[in-house]
Structure 1
Amino acid sequence: MPPARPRVRHGVKSIGFLSFGHWTPSPSSQTRSAADVLLQSIELAEAAEELGADGAYFRVHHFARQLASPFPLLAAAGARTSRIELGTGVIDMRYENPLYMAEDAGAADLIAGGRLQLGVSRGSPEQVVDGFRYFGYAPREGQTSADMARERTEVLLRVLEGEGFAQPAPRPMFPNPPGLLRLEPYAEGLRERIWWGAGSDATAVWAAQQGMNLMSSTLKDAESDEPFHVQQAHQIEAFRKAWAEAGHERTPRVSVSRSIVAITDDRDRALFGRGGQDRDQVGYIDGPNPAIFGRSYAAEPDVLARELAEDEAVAAADTLLVTVPNQLGVEYNAHLLESLLVHVAPALGWR
């Protein structure tokens, strides 16, 4: 018997974009180089802020013609914006030195004035076999790469607490404060702005126990025969239940990602007029268990509003990240965001 349907939440939502940062030398692409992607990512963050969007999030993929090293980009976007949240969805912790990452993240967060929202996880399938080994990292004997990612995340979380842990030198080059030393620069509050990209109900529960926000994407382990959005809503409910049981004092945040296009003009119709992938898909990624991929949405605003109103996970989340076709350029992606914010969000009570 499937579990009871989760409680559906309505009301105002934080709405942002999620860019995978693809680039290709093809003449049909507006991003033909890595420099194009990086500079246009900053410009799109600026445009999104002007439109009133709440977040600019960037995917991280290694060994690919996509965005890879997030902190220079986040710092640059932070210097060029003043209000919008800046985040990742997600950083693969198998590739990270958590202490060096804490320094980079702290610096970028201070430049942005405390606006970073960092999504981290075990990561998704990469372009090469065990790419983290080329970065000099490997699981210990008896440890999986997923174990390694979670262990590194726990180290990152401890360091971001800001407690001293390093024994100071007896004759330092510069004077030290008393006691053990912490990493610098320290960004106040960043520990509470770490999100875990959960691909299963169990990892969502683990994220809650660790005191991380939940970031749920357009795919997850297929853990029942229910539609994707219902399975994802159950995942969110399991996360919130585990959060309450852990006794954390603050209220957690939950984001879901969706591909959404509001068709409002002839350009939209020409590019997306055939509609979205209006059915879930089930397949295999890199493990023995099947994964379920959620549908996408492409329709006129009134149709979109009706369809999205039936998406239980979107209703349950407080944050919606809309994936953007970044190779179509800044101007067109800003248009897509504006269409969603102006024509769809108000009809659903999100604005």
Structure 2
Amino acid sequence: MKKIGFLSFGHWTPSPHSQTRSASDSLLQAIDLAVAAEELGADGAYFRVHHFARQHASPFPLLAAIGARTSRIEIGTGVIDMRYENPLYMAEDAGAADLISGGRLQLGLSRGSPEQVVDGWRHFGYRPPEGGTDADLARAHTEELLDVLRGEGFAQPDPRPMFANPPGLLRIEPHSEGLRDRIWWGSGSNATAAWAAGLGMNLQSSTLKDDESGEPLHVQQRKQIEAYHEAWRAAGHTRTPRVSVSRSIFPLVDERDRAYFGRDRGSTDQIGYIDPSTRSIFGRSYAAEPDVLVKQLAEDEAVAAADTLLLTVPNQLGVDYNAHVVGSILTHVAPELGWR
């Protein structure tokens, strides 16, 4: 059995060819797609976070809205750029969204990706630590968030408070019990996967990672997952961690599918540079008839090693089409692979 969810970047553009021509379209359709995905039997609705872009940026209002409209599906991010975040305020937002959803929040974090603007996190008022990098900034914010989510008091109460306080030091409220165990780290390398394991975070591995061996993406990701599990065991954690991988998968079952994605049948991994110093490998798309997809995905070592699969969806094609894609995978592909 494998949990299957969708991952949306929430693009919008005023183009007449887009079904999401405004931020309002993108947000409202995200809620509708999550509702539709739950009705289809999917397990998760996840959203990417990008700043200064025509994409989803502030995730918690969206996640809370989805939590209020659904009852079962996991709601999450993949991922929040921690260079931009105030850990304490984020803990309040996350706690509220988790309580609204009844404890279904799965919060994916990371150092972030190449940006729309130069050092965008500076505009949010943040700086790397002395002698450190923006990656150090993200990790410091993440560690502070993890500490706060434990729910332990740390703030000295005012001796003359406006409202009566419980005894002892005060914690961030609202606190949602169990959320600390539902934090994920979006890792682009084996080393950061091991770092995340040491801190007790779950692992997200996307369709992009550092090219560390020259092997196909799915092989490198499988080795990354193995390194993560080894580090998890070494850290002595007692619970079972979760691991997700993201894939672009399009069953070609009707003429719409073939028109949109038929040309991707021969897709392969690509090599590129997301910054001048980092050679990266970008994963292929899977587009084929369902019986062919079953054979191809059965050979994907990372998908086999993960307990959760996130399907990247082309949100600009609208709710109905994306629900069709998710439904096609759940109906025609997942059962044949033993995922359902």
Find out whether 1:249 has 2:238 as its counterpart.
Answer: yes
- Deviations 1:87-135 (CA, angstroms, capped at 9, x unpaired): 0000000000000000000000000000000000000011001000000
- Give 1:94's aligned residue: 83
**Aligned with residue 254 of structure 2, among 255, 265, 277:** 265
Q: What count of residue pairs does the alignment treat as equivalent?
A: 340
Kept in 1: contact 2:53–2:116 (CA 8 A): yes
**1:319-334 map, 5 Å:** 319-334=308-323
**What TM-score, normalized by structure 1, do the two folds share?**
0.96
- Give 2:183's aligned residue: 194
**Aligned with residue 23 of structure 2, among 31, 34, 42:** 34
- Give 1:169's aligned residue: 158
Does 155-164 or 285-294 show the bigger shift? 285-294
Query: 1:187, 1:55 → 2: CA distance?
Result: 19
- Give 1:218's aligned residue: 207
Query: 1:276, 1:149 → 2: CA distance?
Result: 38
1:273 is paired with a residue whose SS is helix
* Counterparts in 2 of 1:94 and 1:276: CA distance versus 1, 3 Å: farther
Query: How far apart are 1:275 and its partner, in Å?
Result: 2.6
Residue type of the partner of 1:267?
A: R
Kept in 1: contact 2:249–2:312 (CA 8 A): yes
- Give 1:229's aligned residue: 218
Query: How far apart are 1:276 and its partner, in Å?
Result: 4.2
Kept in 1: contact 2:129–2:136 (CA 8 A): no
Kept in 2: contact 1:24–1:32 (CA 8 A): yes
- Give 1:76's aligned residue: 65
* Counterparts in 2 of 1:348 and 1:127: CA distance versus 1, 3 Å: same
- Give 1:299's aligned residue: 288
- Give 2:275's aligned residue: 286
Kept in 1: contact 2:5–2:309 (CA 8 A): yes
Find out whether 1:138 has 2:143 as its counterpart.
Answer: no
**What TM-score, normalized by structure 2, do the two folds share?**
0.99
2:79 is paired with a residue whose SS is strand
- Give 2:54's aligned residue: 65
Query: 2:310, 2:329 → 1: CA distance?
Result: 12
- Give 1:315's aligned residue: 304
* Counterparts in 2 of 1:287 and 1:106: CA distance versus 1, 3 Å: farther
Query: How far apart are 1:225 and its partner, in Å?
Result: 1.7
Kept in 2: contact 1:60–1:67 (CA 8 A): yes
Kept in 1: contact 2:218–2:302 (CA 8 A): yes
Kept in 2: contact 1:276–1:295 (CA 8 A): no
- Give 1:116's aligned residue: 105
Residue type of the partner of 2:231?
A: A
1:206 is paired with a residue whose SS is helix
Query: How far apart are 1:278 and its partner, in Å?
Result: 2.0
Unaligned stretches of 5+ residues in structure 1: 1-11
- Give 1:182's aligned residue: 171
Find out whether 1:159 has 2:145 as its counterpart.
Answer: no
Query: 1:174, 1:296 → 2: CA distance?
Result: 56
* Counterparts in 2 of 1:275 and 1:133: CA distance versus 1, 3 Å: same
Query: 1:83, 1:229 → 2: CA distance?
Result: 30
* Counterparts in 2 of 1:116 and 1:98: CA distance versus 1, 3 Å: same
Query: How far apart are 1:70 and its partner, in Å?
Result: 0.1
Query: How far apart are 1:44 and its partner, in Å?
Result: 0.3
Residue type of the partner of 1:302?
A: D
* Counterparts in 2 of 1:43 and 1:132: CA distance versus 1, 3 Å: same
- Give 1:9's aligned residue: none
* Counterparts in 2 of 1:277 and 1:326: CA distance versus 1, 3 Å: farther
Query: How far apart are 1:294 and its partner, in Å?
Result: 1.0
Kept in 2: contact 1:20–1:326 (CA 8 A): yes
**Aligned with residue 13 of structure 2, among 24, 34, 41:** 24
Aligned-residue sequence identity (percent) comes to 78
